[in-house]
Structure 1
Amino acid sequence: MRLLTALAALLVSLGVFAAEKTQPEFTFTAIPDQNEAQLRERFGQMASYLSEQLGLPVSYIPVKSYPAAITAFRNNQVQLAWFGGLSGVQARALVPGSVALAQGYEDQFFKSYFIAHKSAGLTPGEQLPEALRGKTFTFGAKGSTSGRLMPEFYLREAFGIAPEALFKRVGFSGDHSRTLALVQSGAYQVGALNYSVWDQAVAKGEVDTEQVQLIWTTPTYPDYQWSARGDLDAQFGAGFTEKLTRALLTIDDPALLQSFPRQRFVPANNGFYQPIEDTARAIELMNSW
């Protein structure tokens, strides 16, 4: 009898061990819109939070570019991603059934800033100045909503020509922090970037306002969101998508929220981003990734 009891206990322990070994890992990524150190800190916190809430291992997988984030999502290397408006629309178009689950409260009213080095001789105003013609200009990443898509849309709307025809030289910095650094240094006279990156840098005293200033703010538009693949329940069990959505919407850790920075997260759906898709198609950026 003792032998049978011991054998049963061994089998149970082996079963638990096997279950632990085969427990699926949930992975997510994010567009690399700021410097890598900031992203690793933010999303490392996020991985810990989601692991606790979901009851399974969660890993953040960093990527080097916006297209890499979209590819990882399409190939199921990640099941969730923190996308910008454009990258989210592009990724969901490639993965049938994928959904936007949550957005920051502020992401409902996102905006871009146009900033200029003092050498450009530009002054703040309510409209894009005619004096932009012939200046050097940098966008952020090519697939960025706030660093490229919407700034280009408003430039074309105001001047009726492509940026390459409007400016003496056009560049793509790769991320918002780099755009700010390039304009502040004078490497480019003008640039467009995510408003929150500028506001945070100003608040931290990282902007030399004697060298660079804000000259124009775009109208608001929807932007960042958490998008998930449509097959989460099939991969992780019935009700998993609902559980994940609840975890995202109930984040209340001040440090985690501040790392984004967002007041809170609110519900999102694919329809919110139709204006982004329409704009991307209008200026032929929908398939630019």
Structure 2
Amino acid sequence: MRLLQMVCLVLLSTLSTCALSAVFTFTAIPDENESQLRTRFEKVALYLEKELGVEVKYVPVKSYSAAVTAFRNNQVQLAWFGGLSGVQARRLVPGSSAIAQGNEDQFFKSYFIAHKSADLLPSDSFPNLNGLTFTFGSKSSTSGRLMPQFFIERNLGKKSEDVFTRIGFSGDHSRTITQVQAGAYQVGAVNYKVWETAVENGTVDLEKVNVIWQSPAYPDYQWTVREGVDKKFGAGFKAKIEAALLGMKDPDLLKSFPRHSFVPAENADYEPIESVAKAIGLID
């Protein structure tokens, strides 16, 4: 009996040590310049490490689809997704949960921006984009592709490929702004937060490119946690992650998103995104 007790104690000690030594990893969709993302999310890693009491590592990825793949393959346990990429990830890993979103993400918007050569003025009415060139962001972007495509096709009554003479996919919102400002495309769709930050930082030439239309609001970015984190890191770990994200109050950390605060989120919040993605054929 004494030997059995000793074996059990050794096993428990080993399990505890493994739990403590496990590295908690997270990623984020690459919606901006890679160096900016690394700076902002390495700060987040240090914050989470302090709050969660385990080693935390930020894992950069090259594309939205790579973020979803990393989540599916359990290379990361937490991800800062857009609305569509979050839906895709949770469909691939049942039991995973949206747990926090920026306060602004409940009412997100896309901006349509145009080069001066398009001769389009800002308007509350949807612009006539027929015959122009247009760039989306990433193919899996909610604010840079999914919702803009939906608004284009709903308002103009035909498929995007029948509206434009040429369509591009820049890969991220910063590149969309750069390409439209340079005149490579006449019009593009961007995340309104990225646009406003770029204007604030003085990296946009408003003599060459400006906002011509803003979309109605929709739900977008969120933190999604993979199923099984309590099993890997200990009972209650998922709740600790949620508390840490909702408790992120440091203005410098929040500015890097940029968000004023984080609020609770759940999978049901993103059902409208899933419905739109099905309606325009981006998911089954």
Aligned to 1:145: 142
Separation (CA, whole Å) in 2 of partners of 1:283 and 1:21: 43
Q: Which residue is equivalent to 2:235?
A: 238
* Distance in 2 (alpha carbons) for counterparts of 1:234 and 1:20: 12
TM-score by length of structure 1 reads: 0.92
Q: Partner letter of residue 37 of structure 2?
A: L
> Which residue of structure 2 aligns with residue 119 of structure 1?
117
TM-superposition CA deviations, 1:1-52 (whole Å, max 9, x none): xxxxxxxxxxxxxx89x93897100000000100101100110000000000
Aligned 1:6-85 pairs, distance under 5 A = 19=17, 23-85=21-83
TM-fit CA distance, 1:205:
1.3
The two structures, once aligned, show a CA RMSD in angstroms of: 1.6
Q: Aligned partner of 2:210: which letter?
A: Q
Cα distance in 2, alignment partners of residues 286 and 105 from structure 1: 27
Correspondence for 1:100: 98
- 1:209-259 CA-to-partner distances (Å, cap 9, x unmatched) read 110010000000000000001211011110000011000000011110000
Establish whether residue 173 from structure 1 lines up as the match of residue 170 from structure 2. Answer: yes
Structure 2: stretches of 5+ with no match in the other structure: 1-12
Distance in structure 2 (CA, Å) of the matches to 1:236 and 1:127: 51
Matched residue SS, 1:46:
helix
Q: Decide which of 208, 216, 230 is 1:219's aligned counterpart.
A: 216
Q: Partner letter of residue 71 of structure 1?
A: T
Deviation track 1:125-164 (CA, whole Å, cap 9, x = no partner) reads: 112222x100000000000000000000000001111111
- The answer as to 2:188 corresponding to 1:191 is yes
CA–CA distance in structure 1, aligned partners of residues 127 and 153 of structure 2: 13
In the alignment, residue 32 of structure 2 is paired with which amino acid?
Answer: Q
Code of the aligned partner of 1:73: F
Query: What secondary structure sits across from 2:31 in the alignment?
Result: coil
1:206, CA displacement in angstroms?
1.2
Q: How many residues align?
A: 272
Tell me, yes or no, if the aligned pair for 2:82 and 2:221 is still in contact at 8 Å.
yes
- Which runs of structure 1 show a deviation greater than 3 angstroms over 4 or more consecutive aligned residues? 18-22
Q: TM-score w.r.t. structure 2 length?
A: 0.93
- AA aligned to 2:99 is L
Equivalent-residue separation in structure 1 for 2:20 and 2:201 (angstroms): 45
Could you list the runs of 5+ residues in structure 1 that have no partner in the other structure? 1-14
Separation in structure 1 between the aligned mates of residue 78 and residue 270 of structure 2, nearest angstrom: 17
SS at match of 1:248: helix
2:218 equivalent to 1:249: no
8 Å Cα contact 2:132-2:166 kept in structure 1 = yes
Compared CA separation, residues 203 and 270, structure 1 to 2 (3 A): same
- Measure, in 1, the Cα distance between the counterparts of 2:17 and 2:92: 33
